Structure 1
Amino acid sequence: MDCARLLPYADAVAVVDAALRQGIDRDALIEELDLGRRRPGNVLARQAVNFGDARAESAGESRSRVVIAQLGLPMPDLQREFFNHKGEVEARVDFDWEDYGMCGEFDGEAKYGRLRRAELSVEEVVLFEKQREERLREHGRWTVRWVNATVKQPELLRRVIENGFRNAAATSRRRWR
């Protein structure tokens, strides 16, 4: 909670998300805040705890969610799984807007950069992602992607998401006519 009190809000949310993901109980975090109720930054830290979500798998996803909320965009479901006819997971997405027929992916450095699995080339990762997007289209999802630089420019993230909503709606109308 010391970090959540001191960091900017989006970073505090990332810390809270990580704590929740590791199994720390939200009530325990609130209890800790109650013990230090007069400490500077406590109000913002409490907001971060209330907004926190254990399903966010990276700081980039957490920061994206904060910006999405600040922009007043519809909030997505996190880590949504899509199943094939055998009931097996064939795709999982960072963000899903079911009502809009769209999903979003925060592409961090780990996917394509220095932290990707050593046994896969960048080309193999890109091919896998293309095949995954095709499977998502079969589930009626338009996919948009963004990176950390996009999150740092909220209006750019708004444009990416809103364009995705429009394209998903247009694709959906064409498909069923």
Structure 2
Amino acid sequence: MKDLFTTIKTSAELRHQGVSSAAITRKSKNGELIKICFNAYVEANQWKTWDATRRCLARHVGFLKTHRGYVLSHVSAALWWRAPTLDLPLKVWVSHPHPSAKVAGNVHLSRNRLQVCEQAVFRSGAFVTTPLQTALDCARVLPCPDALCIIDDLLHRDLVQEGELSQALKTLEGRGALRAREIAKYMSAKAESPAESLARYWILLWGFTAPVEQVQLWVKGNVYRPDFLWEDTRVILEVDGMVKYSGTYGSPVEVIQKERRRQHHLELLGYTVIRAQWEDVARNPENLRAKLLPVRCALMACERGVNLPNAVQRTRR
């Protein structure tokens, strides 16, 4: 993040380097400089090398360098806390202590937030709302799945305490309070990825029995922590995130081999393993619902006294 504050130049900084106002205008028109926000520029050659995330961060830095007294909040604060965002913010979200504060351009401003701004912390070159406030703000304004991914990540990294956040969400009033109270029912500190957060969201929303998360299972000298476990039906749901086969966790071939060995070991314990991909939880959740039907059928079979593993197997065929 620090390099962005150096790379992005304000109009004043460019003039101090000997670039006149006329030259700034000319370079912008001929494409040598990219104007990322009011009075903030970056060289076009640099801009072209950046991906969407880097460009989004650059726009935030450009705003911060040209506006004093503002605090990053809501999804922009989540971005600064390195929480996962399902979609990059199209606007810079900021808060200001004064009720008459104004901004121009592609900025979402929350005014009259004196206490929130006084409690802000300095992180990576910017004043940012606290993790707790960030979670509350996101719960108010973002769609439930988006807010849940952010909140689960903050909980998992111990940036927010679950009991404190749960109480704060349940007692919120005003805009978005109802949505925030709903999120309190779905959140978990055990989620290790947005894919797990989304899977839990759909599982509970659809009325499936709540599974146990990240429970330890020992087999052949190995310990495994399945993403979701329904012990009564001996069913495990494993959710594969976006980057699992990207090379981040080693060779994709090795990852697949470890995955198959893991599934084999779990099946040796008598579990049925269901796998879901990122597409199943983020874009086509009905695929996930179809894969989970054996869980519901097996629970119904359990109530009738039918052998559980066999019931699960029959529903899968």
TM-score, reference length from structure 1:
0.81
Aligned to 1:150: 280
**Preserved contact between residue 239 and residue 277 of structure 2 (Cα < 8 Å):** yes
Is the partner of 2:227 in helix, strand or coil? strand
Q: How does 1:77-92 map to 2 (within 5 A)?
A: 77-84=212-219, 89-92=222-225
Q: CA deviation at 1:143?
A: 0.7
Q: How does 1:56-135 map to 2 (within 5 A)?
A: 56-84=191-219, 89-117=222-250, 121-135=251-265
Q: 1:18-67, CA deviations, whole angstroms, 9 ceiling, x for partnerless residues?
A: 122122123432565478522x2122112212321101111111111111
Q: Percent identity?
A: 30
Aligned to 1:162: 293
Query: In the superposition, relative to structure 1, how do residues 76 and 114 fare at CA in structure 2: closer, same or farther (>3 Å)?
Result: same
Larger Rg: 2
AA partner of residue 44 (structure 1) = R
Higher RCO structure, 1 or 2 (CA under 8 Å, sep 6+): 1
Of 135, 140, 151, the residue aligned with 1:16 is 151
Query: In the superposition, relative to structure 1, how do residues 83 and 71 fare at CA in structure 2: closer, same or farther (>3 Å)?
Result: same
Name whichever of 57-66 and 11-20 sits farther off.
11-20
**Unaligned runs of at least 5 residues, structure 2:** 1-135, 299-307
Q: CA deviation at 1:138?
A: 1.5
Q: CA deviation at 1:96?
A: 0.7
**Unaligned runs of at least 5 residues, structure 1:** none
**Preserved contact between residue 226 and residue 236 of structure 2 (Cα < 8 Å):** yes
CA distance in 2, matches of 1:47, 1:105: 25
Alignment: residue pair count: 168
Is the partner of 1:74 in helix, strand or coil? coil
Structure 1 runs (4+) deviating above 3 angstroms are 30-36, 163-168, 171-174
Q: What's the C-alpha RMSD, in Å, of the aligned pairs? A: 2.7
Query: In the superposition, relative to structure 1, how do residues 89 and 54 fare at CA in structure 2: closer, same or farther (>3 Å)?
Result: farther
CA distance in 2, matches of 1:36, 1:161: 34
Query: In the superposition, relative to structure 1, how do residues 170 and 34 fare at CA in structure 2: closer, same or farther (>3 Å)?
Result: closer
CA distance in 2, matches of 1:114, 1:5: 36
Query: In the superposition, relative to structure 1, how do residues 126 and 44 fare at CA in structure 2: closer, same or farther (>3 Å)?
Result: same
TM-score, reference length from structure 2:
0.48
Q: CA deviation at 1:172?
A: 7.5
AA partner of residue 164 (structure 2) = A
AA partner of residue 212 (structure 2) = D
Of 29, 32, 46, the residue aligned with 2:165 is 29
Query: In the superposition, relative to structure 1, how do residues 165 and 111 fare at CA in structure 2: closer, same or farther (>3 Å)?
Result: farther
Query: In the superposition, relative to structure 1, how do residues 31 and 150 fare at CA in structure 2: closer, same or farther (>3 Å)?
Result: closer
Query: In the superposition, relative to structure 1, how do residues 164 and 116 fare at CA in structure 2: closer, same or farther (>3 Å)?
Result: farther
AA partner of residue 93 (structure 1) = P
